Structures are given as structure tokens and as C-alpha cells.
Amino acid sequence: MSGGVYTLAVDAMGGDSAPGIVVEGLALAAERHPSAKFLLIGDEAQIAPLLARHKRAAAACTVRHTPDAIPNEMKPTAALRMRGASMRMAIDAVAQGEAQGVVSAGNTGALLALAKIVVKTLPGINRPAMAAIGPSARGDVVMLDLGANVACDTRNLVEFAVMGDMFARTVLGLTAPSIGLLNVGSEELKGDDRVRDAAEVLRASFLAAQFHGFVEGHDIAAGTVDVVVTDGFTGNVALKTGEGALKLMSDLLRQVFQGSLGGKLAYLLARPGLDRLREWLDPRSYNGAVMLGLNGVVVKSHGGTDGQGFAHAVDVAMDMVVHRFNDRIRDGLARIVGLNSIGAGSGLAPAIGQ
């Protein structure tokens, strides 16, 4: 990683339309990140003809051949045994220092498991979390955990707040992101012990000034805070519920605009605004969930995305590599240690101490 040249390892075979959309995505990404190099891992027979059509991608790529790929429906335990799989070799490249980050649109469970075992968790972090950025009425919002941990305790939630803060600083460029803990009400006594204890720890921590308190489901799209912290079960459901609601409304609007002559004319008249709206809410422009808390940058692209979406996942990985996210989170870890001792003093040690 010298002279500002960064290498990302890319799983060519992950995702519903791989390797086609992967190479398309890299062609777009190569344009946006002229100093980036890509170590593209997968079936050379499928990749070579695609690179022949995308010269710009070809110039930035080194291909490493492997015939094996982890299927989408494979259990993580089985995936761990496929040492020659494209995803595994991409992750190995990060662990061995050949690449600073990895991007895959493949099997999420396998990526999580491999990343934890091969790239390893940062010292001081109990559980890595999956974070992503989404749209809100008041700008982009970071949410985590999105499903890496179905059950979380107080300590996990506090760690997620620390990592989410650093992620919002690094990728959104905010100087003091506001942080909210997702709950069923905003009053202090709402929720279970887990979220109430996490709120108490955060109020006494170095993040106190940024900690907004509890937020509710509707606060996500309202943009009440910059970082929404929750357990992986709730976060996964909330993310998909919000996406589902937006999709329902888009589908219904399409029917309005296509259902009558008046609707069709209306569409033409309102098109500039509607196009901006669509672009703004476009899931592709928010594609790329990041595994936080690992010794390397690991980005999961949606499996059903297209070249533009994959390119955005590469953007996220590049942002994190270029802005040295992991060095910064290592610096932040000293503060997490402080946080744990606060916890120990406040009777919360079992929840947030080691």
C-alpha cells in the first residue's frame, strides 16, 4: 500500500449475475478510482471474454483463476471447507496483505463466517457488525447491525455505536455524527434491559455529546440521527421492511402513471422531479454493506444488483481503504477500553466487560 496505490480483491463469481455484473462494475469503478488495482478471482474462461469487452476494467485487473465458487444456498460451515473458492481466495488475499479490502456479491453467511475466521476480528472488538448507508429526509443514515449477530448484548450495542460513529466520520465525512439506539419508544424507561443499559453506558461515555438517546422505527427515514444502532435481528428486519415499503409505493406509483392517458402525460410533465427522486432512492446507489470490526475492509454487495450497484460497493470499499478506516478504528479502541472500565464501575461489567 505505497504511493497511494490500493488493491481490492474481488470475488468474480458471487451474486446472481456473476461474473458479468462484476466486470461491468469494475469497468465503472476503474474510471472513478484511477489508482485502484483489482485482484479478480474466479473462472478465467468466463472472465476473459468479459474483460476483452471492458478494456478499462482489464487494465486495472489481475485475474487469479479458480474453478470453484461458493453457491448461494450453501451453509457457512460447508463454505468454510472450500479453500479454493473464489470468495475464500479473495478473503485470503486480504489476510495475507496482498489486498487492503475485498468485495463480494456472494453468499452473505459464508462471507461473514470466512471474514471472521480468516481476516479476524480487531483486538478489543467482541463481535463484528454489518453496516450500511441509506437515504433519509435529512441526508444519509448509517444503520448497524444488519444481521451479522441475531442476538446482541449491551456490550455489543455499545461497540456498534463506537464503530458506527467511526464509519459515519470516515465514509460520510461527518465531524460529530449523532447516534440513536433503536427502541420501541423514546422515553428512558422503554425497551428491555439490554437497550436501557447500553443507553446508560453511552450517556457516560466519550460519545455522550453525540448520543441522542432512543429512536423509533420512523426516525430512520426521518433522519433524526446520523447513526442508528440496533441488534442484527431488528436491524435486518427494519432494513428490509423499509425497502419493502418503498418498493410497494414505487410499484403503485408506476400503476398510476401507466394506468391512464392522464397518468402518462403526468409522468412526462413531472419526469425531471421523478427521475431525481428515483435516483435519490435508488437501492443501487446505497449498495455495499460493510463488515465493521475486522482486520481488513470487507464489503458485501447485494446479490441481485447490476454493474452500477456493484461499482457502488467498490466505492464504499475504496472510501474505507483510502480513509484508513481500520487505522482509525484501532485508535478508537483505546477509548473502548475506557468505556469498558466505565461499565465496570457502573455495575454493568457483566454486560460490557470481557
Query: Which residues of this chain interact with a copy of itself, rule CB under 8 A?
Result: 73, 75, 135-137, 147, 150-151, 182, 184, 187, 189, 191-192, 216-222, 230, 232-234, 236-253, 255-257, 259-260, 262-263, 265-270, 272-274, 276-277, 280-281
Q: Which of 297, 330, 327 is nearest to 124 (CA)?
A: 330
Cell of residue 111, nine digits: 462471507
Nearer to a copy of itself by C-beta: 57 or 142? 142
The span from the CA of 116 to the CA of 129, in Å, is 10
Min dist. Cβ of residue 173 to a copy of itself (A): 23
Burial class for 303, CB neighbours closer than 10 Å (0-12, 13-18, 19+):
middle
Min dist. Cβ of residue 17 to a copy of itself (A): 20
Min dist. Cβ of residue 212 to a copy of itself (A): 16
Sheet holding 289-292, edge to edge: 61-65, 36-42, 6-11, 101-104, 297-300, 289-292, 129-134, 141-144, 227-229, 179-182, 211-215
Nearer to a copy of itself by C-beta: 107 or 295? 107
Min dist. Cβ of residue 252 to a copy of itself (A): 5
Strands in the chain per DSSP E: 6-11, 36-42, 61-65, 101-104, 129-134, 141-144, 179-182, 211-215, 227-229, 289-292, 297-300
What type of residue is 184? V
The span from the CA of 99 to the CA of 296, in Å, is 9
Nearer to a copy of itself by C-beta: 1 or 249? 249
The span from the CA of 26 to the CA of 317, in Å, is 12
Min dist. Cβ of residue 42 to a copy of itself (A): 25
Nearer to a copy of itself by C-beta: 43 or 145? 145
> Radius of gyration of the chain from Cα atoms?
21
- Whether residue 7 contacts residue 102, with contact meaning beta carbons closer than 8 Å, is answered with no
Nearer to a copy of itself by C-beta: 35 or 260? 260
Nearer to a copy of itself by C-beta: 11 or 231? 231
Nearer to a copy of itself by C-beta: 92 or 219? 219
The span from the CA of 174 to the CA of 154, in Å, is 25
Min dist. Cβ of residue 222 to a copy of itself (A): 6
Nearer to a copy of itself by C-beta: 160 or 257? 257
Min dist. Cβ of residue 255 to a copy of itself (A): 7
SS3 290: strand
Min dist. Cβ of residue 268 to a copy of itself (A): 8
